[in-house]
């Protein structure tokens, strides 16, 4: 009976470690997106300025 209980505990620990890794990966992806967001906004504003300047010249 004791061996079965230990095996069940090991299985629970393995599952909790997998969920922590998934959470860490999700957090990394969100932080990467947030760090790239200012560059994307700046690029869109610059592109809009260039296009509007070319339209004003025509």
DSSP per residue, 8-39: HHHHHHHHHHHHHHHHHHHHHHHHHHHHHHHH
What is d(CA 47, CA 39) in angstroms, rounded to the nearest whole number?
Answer: 12
Token readout for 49 is 């300025």
Q: Is the whole-model pTM more than 0.85? A: no
pLDDT of residue 38: 93
What is d(CA 43, CA 36) in angstroms, rounded to the nearest whole number?
Answer: 11
pLDDT tens figures, 1-53: 555 555 555 555 555 555 556 688 888 888 888 889 999 999 999 999 999 99
What is d(CA 18, CA 22) in angstroms, rounded to the nearest whole number?
Answer: 6
């Amino acid at each position: 009976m004791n061996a079965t209980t230990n095996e069940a505990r090991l299985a629970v620990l393995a599952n909790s470690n997998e969920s922590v890794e998934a959470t860490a990966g999700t957090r990394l992806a969100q932080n990467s997106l947030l760090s790239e967001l200012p560059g994307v906004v700046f690029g869109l504003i610059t592109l809009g300025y260039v296009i509007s300047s070319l339209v004003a010249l025509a």
